[in-house]
Protein backbone atom coordinates (compact mmCIF):
# COMPACT_ATOMS: atom_id res chain seq x y z
CA UNK A 1 0.00 0.00 0.00
CA UNK A 2 1.47 3.41 -0.93
CA UNK A 3 2.67 5.72 1.86
CA UNK A 4 2.13 8.93 -0.11
CA UNK A 5 -0.58 11.32 1.04
CA UNK A 6 -2.48 11.37 -2.23
CA UNK A 7 -4.20 8.32 -3.66
CA UNK A 8 -5.20 7.06 -7.06
CA UNK A 9 -8.87 6.17 -6.71
CA UNK A 10 -11.34 4.53 -9.09
CA UNK A 11 -14.90 5.52 -8.21
CA UNK A 12 -17.47 3.17 -9.72
CA UNK A 13 -20.88 4.79 -10.08
CA UNK A 14 -21.75 8.35 -11.12
CA UNK A 15 -24.97 8.84 -9.17
CA UNK A 16 -25.50 11.34 -6.35
CA UNK A 17 -22.98 9.70 -4.04
CA UNK A 18 -20.41 8.80 -6.69
CA UNK A 19 -20.19 12.29 -8.14
CA UNK A 20 -19.97 13.96 -4.73
CA UNK A 21 -17.36 11.49 -3.49
CA UNK A 22 -15.25 11.78 -6.63
CA UNK A 23 -15.47 15.56 -6.46
CA UNK A 24 -14.52 15.64 -2.77
CA UNK A 25 -11.46 13.48 -3.33
CA UNK A 26 -10.37 15.45 -6.40
CA UNK A 27 -10.79 18.69 -4.41
CA UNK A 28 -8.38 17.23 -1.83
CA UNK A 29 -5.80 16.47 -4.49
CA UNK A 30 -6.33 12.75 -5.02
CA UNK A 31 -6.19 11.41 -8.57
CA UNK A 32 -9.72 10.23 -9.37
CA UNK A 33 -11.18 8.30 -12.26
CA UNK A 34 -14.98 8.12 -12.31
CA UNK A 35 -16.56 5.12 -14.05
CA UNK A 36 -20.17 4.75 -15.08
CA UNK A 37 -21.70 2.11 -17.30
CA UNK A 38 -23.81 4.69 -19.13
CA UNK A 39 -22.12 7.66 -20.80
CA UNK A 40 -25.12 9.94 -20.25
CA UNK A 41 -24.33 10.73 -16.59
CA UNK A 42 -20.70 11.44 -17.48
CA UNK A 43 -21.26 13.89 -20.34
CA UNK A 44 -21.70 17.02 -18.14
CA UNK A 45 -18.58 16.04 -16.18
CA UNK A 46 -16.15 16.09 -19.10
CA UNK A 47 -15.55 19.78 -18.42
CA UNK A 48 -15.34 19.22 -14.66
CA UNK A 49 -17.58 19.17 -11.60
CA UNK A 50 -18.74 22.13 -9.52
CA UNK A 51 -18.96 21.46 -5.79
CA UNK A 52 -21.30 23.32 -3.44
CA UNK A 53 -22.15 23.05 0.25
CA UNK A 54 -19.46 21.84 2.64
CA UNK A 55 -16.82 22.78 0.05
CA UNK A 56 -17.07 25.11 -2.93
CA UNK A 57 -15.03 24.98 -6.09
CA UNK A 58 -14.56 23.42 -9.50
CA UNK A 59 -12.57 20.22 -9.99
CA UNK A 60 -11.42 18.24 -12.98
CA UNK A 61 -12.26 14.54 -13.17
CA UNK A 62 -11.18 11.75 -15.46
CA UNK A 63 -14.40 10.04 -16.55
CA UNK A 64 -14.79 6.80 -18.46
CA UNK A 65 -17.25 4.10 -19.44
CA UNK A 66 -14.40 1.56 -19.63
CA UNK A 67 -13.88 -0.26 -16.34
CA UNK A 68 -10.38 -1.41 -17.27
CA UNK A 69 -9.35 2.22 -17.76
CA UNK A 70 -10.88 3.21 -14.42
CA UNK A 71 -9.13 0.44 -12.48
CA UNK A 72 -5.72 0.76 -14.11
CA UNK A 73 -3.17 1.77 -11.45
CA UNK A 74 -5.76 2.56 -8.76
CA UNK A 75 -4.78 2.09 -5.11
CA UNK A 76 -8.43 2.06 -4.05
CA UNK A 77 -11.53 0.95 -5.93
CA UNK A 78 -14.53 2.64 -4.31
CA UNK A 79 -17.89 1.20 -5.34
CA UNK A 80 -20.61 3.85 -4.90
CA UNK A 81 -23.63 2.18 -6.49
CA UNK A 82 -26.87 0.63 -5.28
CA UNK A 83 -25.99 -2.60 -3.49
CA UNK A 84 -27.83 -4.61 -6.16
CA UNK A 85 -24.98 -3.66 -8.55
CA UNK A 86 -22.23 -5.10 -6.32
CA UNK A 87 -22.52 -8.64 -7.66
CA UNK A 88 -22.45 -7.82 -11.42
CA UNK A 89 -19.70 -5.25 -10.86
CA UNK A 90 -17.59 -7.84 -9.06
CA UNK A 91 -17.74 -10.16 -12.06
CA UNK A 92 -17.01 -7.23 -14.37
CA UNK A 93 -13.94 -6.23 -12.33
CA UNK A 94 -12.40 -9.72 -12.26
CA UNK A 95 -10.36 -9.52 -15.50
CA UNK A 96 -8.97 -6.07 -14.65
CA UNK A 97 -8.16 -6.07 -10.92
CA UNK A 98 -4.60 -6.23 -9.64
CA UNK A 99 -4.20 -8.34 -6.47
CA UNK A 100 -2.93 -5.42 -4.35
CA UNK A 101 -5.93 -3.16 -5.05
CA UNK A 102 -8.35 -2.58 -2.17
CA UNK A 103 -12.06 -2.70 -3.00
CA UNK A 104 -14.41 -0.67 -0.78
CA UNK A 105 -18.20 -0.99 -0.98
CA UNK A 106 -19.50 2.40 0.10
CA UNK A 107 -21.79 1.28 1.67
CA UNK A 108 -22.02 -2.53 1.66
CA UNK A 109 -25.57 -2.87 3.08
CA UNK A 110 -25.83 -6.45 4.46
CA UNK A 111 -23.25 -8.97 3.29
CA UNK A 112 -21.76 -6.91 0.47
CA UNK A 113 -18.10 -7.43 1.29
CA UNK A 114 -18.62 -11.17 1.82
CA UNK A 115 -20.43 -11.58 -1.49
CA UNK A 116 -17.80 -9.66 -3.49
CA UNK A 117 -14.86 -11.28 -1.68
CA UNK A 118 -16.26 -14.74 -2.43
CA UNK A 119 -16.63 -13.90 -6.14
CA UNK A 120 -13.09 -12.53 -6.38
CA UNK A 121 -11.61 -15.49 -4.48
CA UNK A 122 -13.41 -17.94 -6.77
CA UNK A 123 -11.67 -16.17 -9.67
CA UNK A 124 -8.28 -16.57 -8.00
CA UNK A 125 -8.00 -13.00 -6.72
CA UNK A 126 -6.79 -12.35 -3.16
CA UNK A 127 -7.94 -8.71 -3.01
CA UNK A 128 -8.97 -7.19 0.28
CA UNK A 129 -12.68 -6.27 0.11
CA UNK A 130 -14.07 -3.84 2.68
CA UNK A 131 -17.43 -2.26 3.36
CA UNK A 132 -18.59 0.91 5.07
CA UNK A 133 -21.68 0.72 7.24
CA UNK A 134 -23.08 3.91 5.67
CA UNK A 135 -22.12 6.52 3.08
CA UNK A 136 -19.73 9.20 4.30
CA UNK A 137 -21.80 12.18 3.22
CA UNK A 138 -25.28 13.48 2.54
CA UNK A 139 -25.20 14.77 -1.04
CA UNK A 140 -27.23 15.38 -4.18
CA UNK A 141 -26.54 16.13 -7.82
CA UNK A 142 -28.46 19.39 -8.05
CA UNK A 143 -27.88 20.05 -11.75
CA UNK A 144 -25.79 18.53 -14.52
CA UNK A 145 -22.17 19.08 -13.54
CA UNK A 146 -23.02 20.33 -10.03
CA UNK A 147 -22.99 18.32 -6.80
CA UNK A 148 -23.86 19.62 -3.35
CA UNK A 149 -22.41 18.05 -0.20
CA UNK A 150 -24.82 18.91 2.60
CA UNK A 151 -23.05 17.17 5.46
CA UNK A 152 -20.17 14.83 6.21
CA UNK A 153 -20.78 12.26 8.92
CA UNK A 154 -18.62 12.31 12.02
CA UNK A 155 -18.10 8.55 12.22
CA UNK A 156 -18.34 5.79 9.62
CA UNK A 157 -17.26 2.29 10.60
CA UNK A 158 -15.44 0.10 8.10
CA UNK A 159 -14.52 -3.58 8.16
CA UNK A 160 -12.57 -5.75 5.74
CA UNK A 161 -12.49 -9.36 4.60
CA UNK A 162 -10.21 -10.73 5.97
CA UNK A 163 -10.68 -8.87 9.24
CA UNK A 164 -6.97 -8.46 9.98
CA UNK A 165 -6.79 -6.05 7.03
CA UNK A 166 -9.33 -3.63 8.49
CA UNK A 167 -6.76 -1.40 10.18
CA UNK A 168 -4.77 -1.09 6.96
CA UNK A 169 -7.90 -0.18 4.99
CA UNK A 170 -8.93 2.42 7.55
CA UNK A 171 -5.47 4.01 7.45
CA UNK A 172 -5.88 4.28 3.69
CA UNK A 173 -9.37 5.79 3.98
CA UNK A 174 -8.29 8.31 6.60
CA UNK A 175 -6.25 9.97 3.87
CA UNK A 176 -9.68 10.80 2.43
CA UNK A 177 -11.45 11.69 5.71
CA UNK A 178 -10.76 11.03 9.43
CA UNK A 179 -14.39 9.94 9.99
CA UNK A 180 -13.54 6.40 8.84
CA UNK A 181 -12.95 4.15 11.88
CA UNK A 182 -12.53 0.37 12.24
CA UNK A 183 -15.36 -2.00 13.08
CA UNK A 184 -14.78 -5.44 14.57
CA UNK A 185 -15.67 -7.31 11.38
CA UNK A 186 -18.13 -7.27 8.48
CA UNK A 187 -20.83 -8.95 10.55
CA UNK A 188 -20.87 -5.79 12.63
CA UNK A 189 -21.09 -3.41 9.67
CA UNK A 190 -23.61 -5.62 7.85
CA UNK A 191 -26.00 -6.15 10.75
CA UNK A 192 -26.00 -2.46 11.67
CA UNK A 193 -28.01 -1.87 8.49
CA UNK A 194 -30.71 0.42 9.88
CA UNK A 195 -32.08 1.13 6.41
CA UNK A 196 -33.46 -2.41 6.26
CA UNK A 197 -35.60 -1.53 9.28
CA UNK A 198 -36.53 2.08 8.44
CA UNK A 199 -37.31 1.78 4.72
CA UNK A 200 -39.29 -1.30 3.53
CA UNK A 201 -41.91 -1.61 6.28
CA UNK A 202 -43.23 1.99 6.12
CA UNK A 203 -43.43 1.87 2.33
CA UNK A 204 -45.22 -1.49 2.24
CA UNK A 205 -47.60 -0.60 5.05
CA UNK A 206 -48.50 2.71 3.35
CA UNK A 207 -48.81 1.17 -0.10
CA UNK A 208 -52.29 2.57 -0.72
CA UNK A 209 -51.13 6.15 -0.22
CA UNK A 210 -47.96 5.58 -2.26
CA UNK A 211 -49.80 4.11 -5.25
CA UNK A 212 -52.49 6.77 -5.08
CA UNK A 213 -49.80 9.45 -5.35
CA UNK A 214 -50.74 11.07 -2.03
CA UNK A 215 -47.71 12.95 -0.66
CA UNK A 216 -46.77 12.35 2.97
CA UNK A 217 -43.72 12.41 5.20
CA UNK A 218 -42.07 8.99 5.26
CA UNK A 219 -41.12 9.13 8.93
CA UNK A 220 -43.48 11.43 10.80
CA UNK A 221 -46.69 10.53 8.94
CA UNK A 222 -45.93 7.12 7.43
CA UNK A 223 -44.67 5.62 10.67
CA UNK A 224 -47.75 5.42 12.87
CA UNK A 225 -47.72 3.57 16.21
CA UNK A 226 -48.79 0.39 14.42
CA UNK A 227 -46.16 0.66 11.68
CA UNK A 228 -43.51 1.40 14.31
CA UNK A 229 -44.55 -1.70 16.25
CA UNK A 230 -43.90 -3.86 13.17
CA UNK A 231 -40.54 -2.12 12.63
CA UNK A 232 -39.57 -2.63 16.26
CA UNK A 233 -40.29 -6.36 16.03
CA UNK A 234 -38.23 -6.61 12.82
CA UNK A 235 -35.47 -4.75 14.64
CA UNK A 236 -35.61 -7.27 17.48
CA UNK A 237 -35.06 -10.02 14.91
CA UNK A 238 -32.00 -8.14 13.64
CA UNK A 239 -30.49 -7.71 17.11
CA UNK A 240 -31.29 -11.34 17.99
CA UNK A 241 -29.42 -12.42 14.87
CA UNK A 242 -26.44 -10.28 15.83
CA UNK A 243 -26.45 -11.78 19.33
CA UNK A 244 -26.55 -15.31 17.89
CA UNK A 245 -23.44 -14.43 15.86
CA UNK A 246 -21.68 -12.85 18.82
CA UNK A 247 -21.83 -9.32 17.39
CA UNK A 248 -22.94 -6.19 19.23
CA UNK A 249 -25.15 -3.81 17.26
CA UNK A 250 -27.29 -0.87 18.27
CA UNK A 251 -31.05 -1.30 18.33
CA UNK A 252 -32.99 1.18 16.19
CA UNK A 253 -33.85 3.23 19.29
CA UNK A 254 -30.23 3.19 20.47
CA UNK A 255 -29.09 4.22 17.00
CA UNK A 256 -31.51 7.18 16.97
CA UNK A 257 -30.24 8.21 20.40
CA UNK A 258 -26.62 8.05 19.28
CA UNK A 259 -27.12 9.61 15.84
CA UNK A 260 -29.67 12.29 16.68
CA UNK A 261 -29.85 12.54 20.47
CA UNK A 262 -33.56 11.60 20.57
CA UNK A 263 -35.38 9.03 22.68
CA UNK A 264 -38.82 7.80 23.61
CA UNK A 265 -40.61 4.97 25.35
CA UNK A 266 -40.76 3.07 22.05
CA UNK A 267 -39.56 3.39 18.47
CA UNK A 268 -42.58 5.45 17.44
CA UNK A 269 -41.89 8.13 20.05
CA UNK A 270 -38.17 8.17 19.21
CA UNK A 271 -38.87 8.75 15.50
CA UNK A 272 -41.47 11.43 16.21
CA UNK A 273 -38.95 13.22 18.43
CA UNK A 274 -36.40 13.43 15.63
CA UNK A 275 -36.72 16.88 14.05
CA UNK A 276 -34.16 15.97 11.39
CA UNK A 277 -36.79 13.73 9.77
CA UNK A 278 -39.28 16.55 9.31
CA UNK A 279 -40.27 17.08 5.70
CA UNK A 280 -38.57 13.93 4.35
CA UNK A 281 -41.16 12.79 1.84
CA UNK A 282 -42.14 9.19 1.20
CA UNK A 283 -41.45 7.66 -2.20
CA UNK A 284 -44.18 8.27 -4.77
CA UNK A 285 -43.68 4.88 -6.39
CA UNK A 286 -43.32 1.38 -5.01
CA UNK A 287 -40.47 0.82 -7.50
CA UNK A 288 -38.11 2.58 -5.16
CA UNK A 289 -34.74 1.64 -3.65
CA UNK A 290 -36.48 1.31 -0.27
CA UNK A 291 -37.76 -1.97 -1.73
CA UNK A 292 -35.69 -2.78 -4.81
CA UNK A 293 -32.41 -2.40 -2.85
CA UNK A 294 -33.26 -2.73 0.83
CA UNK A 295 -35.20 -5.97 0.41
CA UNK A 296 -32.69 -8.10 -1.58
CA UNK A 297 -29.55 -6.67 0.07
CA UNK A 298 -30.94 -5.94 3.54
CA UNK A 299 -33.89 -8.05 4.61
CA UNK A 300 -33.17 -11.15 2.50
CA UNK A 301 -29.64 -11.80 3.81
CA UNK A 302 -30.78 -11.27 7.41
CA UNK A 303 -33.69 -13.68 6.92
CA UNK A 304 -31.44 -16.23 5.21
CA UNK A 305 -28.78 -16.03 7.94
CA UNK A 306 -31.32 -16.09 10.76
CA UNK A 307 -33.24 -19.09 9.47
CA UNK A 308 -29.99 -20.97 8.81
CA UNK A 309 -29.16 -20.46 12.48
CA UNK A 310 -32.58 -21.55 13.73
CA UNK A 311 -34.17 -18.13 14.27
CA UNK A 312 -37.74 -17.66 12.96
CA UNK A 313 -37.32 -14.16 11.37
CA UNK A 314 -41.11 -14.11 10.87
CA UNK A 315 -41.66 -10.35 10.53
CA UNK A 316 -38.75 -9.73 8.19
CA UNK A 317 -39.78 -12.73 6.09
CA UNK A 318 -43.34 -11.42 5.84
CA UNK A 319 -42.02 -8.08 4.55
CA UNK A 320 -39.94 -9.92 1.95
CA UNK A 321 -42.99 -11.92 0.84
CA UNK A 322 -45.06 -8.74 0.51
CA UNK A 323 -42.39 -7.13 -1.68
CA UNK A 324 -42.18 -10.30 -3.78
CA UNK A 325 -45.94 -10.31 -4.35
CA UNK A 326 -45.92 -6.60 -5.19
CA UNK A 327 -43.05 -6.71 -7.67
CA UNK A 328 -43.46 -10.32 -8.85
CA UNK A 329 -39.76 -10.85 -8.14
CA UNK A 330 -38.36 -13.71 -6.06
CA UNK A 331 -36.12 -11.54 -3.90
CA UNK A 332 -35.46 -14.47 -1.57
CA UNK A 333 -33.80 -16.25 -4.50
CA UNK A 334 -32.18 -13.34 -6.35
CA UNK A 335 -31.01 -11.46 -3.25
CA UNK A 336 -28.10 -12.19 -0.95
CA UNK A 337 -28.36 -15.52 0.84
CA UNK A 338 -26.10 -17.74 2.93
CA UNK A 339 -25.20 -19.48 -0.34
CA UNK A 340 -24.14 -16.31 -2.19
CA UNK A 341 -22.29 -15.10 0.91
CA UNK A 342 -20.33 -18.34 1.18
CA UNK A 343 -21.81 -19.17 4.60
CA UNK A 344 -24.14 -22.08 3.79
CA UNK A 345 -24.06 -24.91 6.32
CA UNK A 346 -21.96 -22.97 8.84
CA UNK A 347 -22.75 -22.41 12.50
CA UNK A 348 -22.01 -19.17 14.39
CA UNK A 349 -18.39 -20.07 15.21
CA UNK A 350 -17.61 -21.10 11.63
CA UNK A 351 -19.26 -17.93 10.27
CA UNK A 352 -17.13 -15.80 12.58
CA UNK A 353 -14.05 -17.71 11.47
CA UNK A 354 -14.94 -17.11 7.80
CA UNK A 355 -15.33 -13.35 8.21
CA UNK A 356 -12.08 -13.22 10.16
CA UNK A 357 -10.01 -15.27 7.69
CA UNK A 358 -11.80 -14.58 4.40
CA UNK A 359 -11.95 -16.92 1.41
CA UNK A 360 -8.90 -18.71 0.02
CA UNK A 361 -8.39 -17.76 -3.65
CA UNK A 362 -8.65 -20.63 -6.08
CA UNK A 363 -5.38 -21.67 -7.71
CA UNK A 364 -6.36 -20.25 -11.08
CA UNK A 365 -8.45 -17.35 -12.29
CA UNK A 366 -11.55 -19.00 -13.67
CA UNK A 367 -13.62 -17.52 -16.46
CA UNK A 368 -16.76 -16.33 -14.69
CA UNK A 369 -19.95 -14.72 -15.81
CA UNK A 370 -22.17 -12.47 -13.75
pLDDT in tens, 223-281: 999 999 999 999 999 999 999 999 999 999 999 998 889 999 999 999 999 998 999 99
Q: Does residue 278 contact residue 173 with C-beta atoms inside 8 Å?
A: no
| Confidence check: pLDDT of 79 > 50 | yes
Distances (CA, A) of 117 to 126, 200, 340, 361: 8, 27, 11, 9
Q: How much is the average pLDDT of 141-153?
A: 93
Q: pTM here?
A: 0.93
Q: Quote the pLDDT of residue 37.
A: 94
Q: Quote the pLDDT of residue 368.
A: 45
Other Cβ atoms less than 10 A from the Cβ of 251: the count is 18
d(CA 315, CA 220): 22
The helix (run of H) or strand (run of E) holding residue 135 is: none
Q: Name, in order, each residue with C-beta under 8 angstroms of 358's C-beta and a sequence gap of 6 or more.
A: 117, 121, 161, 162, 163
- 107 upstream amide cis, omega within 30 of 0: yes
The helix (run of H) or strand (run of E) holding residue 35 is: strand 31-35
Q: Quote the pLDDT of residue 1.
A: 42
Q: φ and ψ at 295, to 5 degrees?
A: -75, -60
How is residue 277 annotated by DSSP?
G
Q: In this prediction, what percent of the chain has a pLDDT beyond 90?
A: 93
Distance from CA of residue 46 to its chain's centroid? 27
3-state secondary structure of 262: coil
Catalytic residue among 86, 106, 199, 218: 199
d(CA 83, CA 294): 8
d(CA 356, CA 139): 33
d(CA 51, CA 43): 17
**Strand partners of residue 9:** 32, 76
| Confidence check: pLDDT of 293 > 70 | yes
pLDDT tens-digit series, residues 39-74? 999 999 999 999 999 999 999 999 999 999 999 999
Q: Quote the pLDDT of residue 367.
A: 43
Note the residue count of the chain. 370
| Confidence check: pLDDT of 370 > 80 | no
3-state secondary structure of 245: coil
Distance from CA of residue 365 to its chain's centroid? 27
Distances (CA, A) of 95 to 64, 67, 68, 79, 217: 17, 10, 8, 17, 45
3-state secondary structure of 140: strand
Q: Does residue 334 contact residue 296 with C-beta atoms inside 8 Å?
A: yes
Catalytic residue among 16, 106, 235, 294: 294
Q: How confident is the model at residue 348 (pLDDT cuts 50, 70, 90)?
A: very high
d(CA 127, CA 279): 42
Q: In this prediction, what percent of the chain has a pLDDT beyond 70?
A: 97
Coarse DSSP helix, strand, coil percentages of the chain, rounded to the nearest 5 percent: 45, 15, 40
Other Cβ atoms less than 10 A from the Cβ of 98: the count is 13
**Strand partners of residue 77:** 10, 103
Has 199 been annotated as catalytic? yes
Number of alpha carbons in the 13 Å side-chain half-sphere of residue 261 = 2
| Confidence check: pLDDT of 84 > 60 | yes
Q: Quote the pLDDT of residue 347.
A: 97
Amino acid sequence: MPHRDFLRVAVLGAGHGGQAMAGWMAWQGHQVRLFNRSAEALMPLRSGLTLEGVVSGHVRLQVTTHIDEALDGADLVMVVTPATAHRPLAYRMVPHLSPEQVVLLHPGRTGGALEVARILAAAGLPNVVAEAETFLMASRVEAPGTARIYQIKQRVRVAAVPADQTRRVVELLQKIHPAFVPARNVLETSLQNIGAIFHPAPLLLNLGRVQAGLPFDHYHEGITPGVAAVMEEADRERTDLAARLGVEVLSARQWLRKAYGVDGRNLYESIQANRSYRGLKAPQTDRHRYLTEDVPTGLVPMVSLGKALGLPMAVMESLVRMAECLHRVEYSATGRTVESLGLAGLGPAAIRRTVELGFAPQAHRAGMEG
